[in-house]
């Protein structure tokens, strides 16, 4: 039987423009890498069955659920990335020590859940803009 990956201990980093990886401390969920390849129909009138080829890899989007916290340096960098519309290197480290790393643009950084008896939250929308690399033993750049 396979062992599921636990979510407790997941870390997410954003690299600032100076090359420093800053942990986003207040995240509570992450999902994505939901892209898919386009299908190219290459069927000709001569073919007796459909001929399909796949297009380039597309990694899609990542959504990062966060509690809004004014003392989270990682969220400050997310805000800067949203303002300047420049890609940032994101590292998603699993508690097992493996990680996924990719360049992304911050598409949205909203506030939500501002009602009675709740904390401000937000679902940060990231558009993956490059190849996703996988590895183990990530060390944040300082």
Q: Average pLDDT, stretch 113-126?
A: 88
Give the pLDDT of residue 1: 87
The second-level CATH assignment, the architecture, of 11-136 is: Irregular (4.10)
Q: What is the CA angle 73-68-65, rounded to 5?
A: 100
pLDDT tens-digit series, residues 61-105: 999 999 999 999 999 999 999 999 999 999 999 999 999 999 999
112 DSSP β-pair partners:
121
Structure tokens at 80: 């800067």
Q: Tell me phi and psi for residue 50, to 5 degrees.
A: -60, 140
Question: What pTM does this model have?
Answer: 0.90
Domain residue ranges in the chain: 11-136
How many Cβ atoms from other residues are within 10 Å of residue 9's Cβ?
11
Give the pLDDT of residue 111: 84
**Residues whose CB is less than 8 angstroms from the CB of residue 120 and which lie 6 or more positions away in sequence, other chains included:** 67, 68, 111, 112, 113, 114
């Amino acid at each position: 039987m396979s062992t599921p990956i636990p979510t407790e201990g997941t870390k997410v980093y954003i690299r600032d423009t100076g090359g420093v990886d800053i942990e986003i401390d207040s995240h509570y969920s992450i999902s994505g890498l939901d892209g898919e390849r386009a299908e190219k129909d290459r069927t000709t009138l001569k073919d007796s069955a459909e001929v399909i080829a796949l297009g380039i890899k597309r990694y899609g989007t990542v959504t990062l659920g966060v509690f809004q916290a004014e003392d989270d340096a990682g969220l400050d960098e997310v805000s800067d990335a949203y303002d300047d519309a420049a890609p940032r290197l994101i590292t998603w480290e699993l508690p097992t020590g493996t990680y996924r790393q990719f360049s992304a643009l911050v598409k949205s950084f909203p506030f939500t859940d501002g009602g009675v008896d709740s904390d401000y939250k937000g679902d940060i929308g990231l558009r993956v803009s490059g190849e996703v690399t996988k590895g183990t033993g990530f060390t944040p750049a300082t």
